[in-house]
Amino acid sequence: MGAESYTGRINRKLSKKLRIVEVAAGREKADLVLKNTTYVNVFSSELCHGDIAVAEGLIVGMGEYSGRLEFDMAGKIVLPGMSSVFISVYNLLSVVTSLRVHSLSFYS
């Protein structure tokens, strides 16, 4: 099989990015949707609820989505981006501690 042309490579990448935008906007079904998740917002240290949409191997949105493959994640906590082998236990513990402090202040 011959090498892909420059134009072919650009068109393939553009097509992939356009699909990601369509899925993120909810106009096209995602490849995978984790339904009813509780996920950690690592920027605000909050637990959020909703669906997580994945297309082309990327998380493209959080909210309400439909997908070709759907899993009900009710009762589970999802940590997007926390699967890297390079994450240290200290960083993970600081996020969990922050969530614990936040949740305790929530009940006060």
65, exposed or middle or buried, with CB in 10 Å at 0-12, 13-18, 19+?
Answer: buried
13: confidence class by pLDDT, cuts 50, 70, 90: very high
Burial 14-35 (b: 16+ CB within 10 A, else e): eeeeebbeebbeeeebbbbbbb
Mean of pLDDT values over 7-27 = 95
Q: How are the residues of the chain apportioned to helix, strand and coil, as percentages rounded to the nearest 5?
A: 35, 35, 30
Rounded to the nearest integer, the mean pLDDT of the chain is 80
Cβ distance 52 to 62 under 8 Å?
A: yes
Radius of gyration for the alpha carbons in the chain, expressed in angstroms and rounded: 18
Please give the pLDDT value at position 4.
86
Question: Is this structure's pTM higher than 0.75?
Answer: no
